[in-house]
Structure 1
């Protein structure tokens, strides 16, 4: 069995823990029955020996398989990772969705992405990354009665993404600790209105409204202070064709959305100015997690 899961960008400015989308940057997970368990890691994380000793994919896969069939037979696991680790592009959500999907497949369960999402809440309590990783496209989501509720929008080819990835990581857990314990009422109202407006702008494809709609007062400033160059990244992006420029998840990656015809200029502007950072031009993924026989999609 082989499956792939896309990278994601969550929050998208004001949509704290509720908005996210999927990018065409993938982690591939391969499983083959074996006499003993073995792990091979290619790409991102290949130089980290800890990922072979305590591998989250293998642990979650075995936990779920134990629940489904009562045993954990050995497999040869091969991971080919393109999603940077701890950079705000959903690497952990890709692992969670991939491991659960693989376990359901091995157990012979009728595949249901809603079940996968609900099971994923045990490992990730915020749905903004796991939902696009599973479903693809743009998603507005919430948790209700311990289940993920979401609305999904496929993204057209007329828009594209350019992401800027610093060398420095930002821990989601530690990043949350930098946020205020209390907020002014006017700031909470600001984010509520902008998050709602941003969601409608995506669904209605009103791309020209994204710049104003993606403004945030709850988390970005506090997180960006940890890597001050991100303020300049955002300013440069918005003056070179970006329709919106937001911190990706908790960072450190910065996500920029633009018209596809402007992506080359935006990429070159960011690459030349921030030549010490990694810059990628990416399309959007509209399928989420897929198995190998679906890769042609």
Structure 2
């Protein structure tokens, strides 16, 4: 068991990229930093107001993850205080809960001296999340393409995708549970086949850094976008405008309510500015992929 001052830095993530539903994640260069130091009780403080509504004691998701991971290995950890600074919009489809879980896993690994492998961390996080897309990207960085079922997980990891991204963030958050409630219980076999084909071509294109093809495929999703896009003001107009100014493709970021736009590296700021000017309801974030996942400092 360790008592020490250290920090954990975890990237934001976007998941699905359209047809890669619950299986493809991309780490983004927006970060949450958690400073850890000994304390008489578990406490969590957040810089800024956006995260102020979250629990600040042992019921906080980061702390709960630390305790669950330690208990999984019959370890106990002493109480600590956590100070959190985050650039990641809360509840906006950028993996804020997966980021918290990833941070908790890293903190537990350090405090309890678990010496977990990266894949052990991903498996634990996937069990907690119920799917592997966000948490695998948060822990490993880059692009992760995952197959997770029961006790089995397989991941293809692409550390340094050569692209950029624009995230259009609306003012209001959206609960993932609410967004998932819009999805159908089943799809026709022919529809699912088309969705699987789009996901397969997109994954292969990403592996080859062919983002023109990947962008085209991310707009062929049939698994969730058709059922959620009505929640996004000007969705189709944004897609058309993004294409006209040179974007590869556009889709929903995670479960929403943000929009993810894949662009050529170096074009992020230009495209973000132009889309914000035309669609002022959204705040445009120009970002790069994060090749690093969660790291200790």
TM-score after normalising by structure 2: 0.92
In structure 2, the CA distance between the partners of 1:154 and 1:66, relative to structure 1 (3 Å rule), is closer
| Mapping for residues 143-182 of structure 1, pairs under 5 Å | 143-156=148-161, 158-182=162-186
**Residue 113 of structure 1 pairs with residue 94 of structure 2:** no
Instruction: Note if contact 2:42-2:63 (Cα within 8 Å) is conserved in structure 1.
Output: no
| Mapping for residues 182-221 of structure 1, pairs under 5 Å | 182-214=186-218, 215-221=220-226
> d(CA) in 2 for partners of 1:195 and 1:73?
44
**Aligned residue number for residue 19 of structure 1:** 24
| Mapping for residues 253-264 of structure 1, pairs under 5 Å | 253-264=258-269
**Aligned residue number for residue 86 of structure 2:** 81
Cα deviation 1:217-262 (Å, max 9, x = unaligned): 1211211112333333222222211101110111011111111233
Cα deviation 1:170-207 (Å, max 9, x = unaligned): 22212111112221222111110010000110111122
**Aligned residue number for residue 30 of structure 1:** 35
Which moves more between the two structures, 194-203 or 254-263? Answer: 254-263
TM-score after normalising by structure 1: 0.92
> d(CA) in 2 for partners of 1:105 and 1:224?
41
Instruction: Note if contact 1:164-1:279 (Cα within 8 Å) is conserved in structure 2.
Output: yes
Q: CA RMSD in A?
A: 1.7
In structure 2, the CA distance between the partners of 1:261 and 1:45, relative to structure 1 (3 Å rule), is closer
The one of 234, 245, 249 aligned to 2:239: 234
Instruction: Note if contact 2:166-2:268 (Cα within 8 Å) is conserved in structure 1.
Output: yes
Structure 1: segments with no counterpart, 5+ residues: 293-297
Structure 2: segments with no counterpart, 5+ residues: 1-5
What is the CA-CA distance between 1:69 and the residue it aligns to? 5.2
> d(CA) in 2 for partners of 1:40 and 1:145?
35
Instruction: Note if contact 2:77-2:112 (Cα within 8 Å) is conserved in structure 1.
Output: no
